[in-house]
Amino acid sequence: MTSEAQPAKGTVRVLQLYPRDMNIYGDWGNALVLQQRIKWHGYTPELLEYNVGDEFPGDIDIIVGGGGQDSGQLVIQDDLQARADHLRALADDGAPMLVICGLYQLFGKFFKTSAGPVIPGIGILDVETHGTDERLIGNVTLKSPEFGDVLGYENHSGQTTLGPGVEPLGTVTKGAGNNSKDGHEGARYRNVVASYLHGSLLPKNPAIADFLIRTAVERKYGTFVPGTPDDDYARLAREHAARRPR
């Protein structure tokens, strides 16, 4: 743990999107990891929440959004549409974002649920999702060109396919990923990282957390001066997780 006081190098504002309705499977862990690592890198974190009906805060450096049940997606869909232009402008401008599971689906073009109705997405990601009766559940490992081995746990019945406007986050070595066919997991567009992996994603994958933080700081202050977080336990937790069966 890096606890020695360092001179603050500036603030980093992290916004959690819809934690009230889209926060399941430990999504809070991603926000907590960003908050602590920002601190361990010597910057000052500010953690904010945005829920349906709130005023959208300004000066946001990182956006993080989680999974939810189908019912949660229905609750937020109109509000998300009303924010679509703003979120798209931020993404196009290079703001780092992490969207998991339900919000991954809704950052795409649409989610056609298995019951029939189509929930429109906001189209930041060139992906589409179809609900199925097959549930993809279990431990996952993937190889990512940017982040190395990525570990997590998946639990989804929506299956996502990537269009030409995005790259996958990685190639699955254990588990299913975006769908049960093509071996891709997640999506990457500019500085947006989208994934079905909870587990939570960031605690055991600090490389992705640090990518989001570095990008945010460079975008805001020009240069990023990293600290030295102690990642021994993250490494050990990764080693043990990698040995667990699907």
List the catalytic residues: 101, 198
In our burial notation (b when 16+ CB lie closer than 10 A, e otherwise), range 133-151 reads eeebeebbbbebeebeebb
* Size of the chain in residues: 246
Min separation Cβ 209 and another protein, Å: 11
- Span interacting with another protein, options 76-84, 109-117, 140-148, 152-160, rule CB under 8 A: 152-160
Strand partners of residue 9: none
The verdict on 55 binding another protein (CB under 8 A) reads no
Dist. CA 19–CA 10, nearest whole Å: 25
Side chain identity, residue 145? P
Q: Is residue 149 within the footprint of another protein (CB under 8 A)?
A: no
Q: Which of 137, 161, 220, 221 binds another protein (CB under 8 A)?
A: 137
Binder among 9, 20, 143, 219 for another protein (CB under 8 A): 20
- CB contact at 8 A, 153 and 199: yes
Contacts of residue 105, Cβ cutoff 8 Å, sequence gap at least 6: 73, 111, 119, 121, 129, 158, 160
Smaller CB separation from another protein, 44 or 93: 44
φ/ψ of residue 87, rounded to 5: -65, -40
- The nearest distance, CB 223 to another protein, in angstroms, is 26
Q: Does residue 233 touch another protein according to CB under 8 A?
A: yes
Which window, 110-118, 161-169, 180-188, 232-240, contacts another protein (CB under 8 A)? 232-240
The answer to the question of residue 242 lying near another protein (CB under 8 A) is: no
Interaction of residue 32 with another protein, rule CB under 8 A: yes
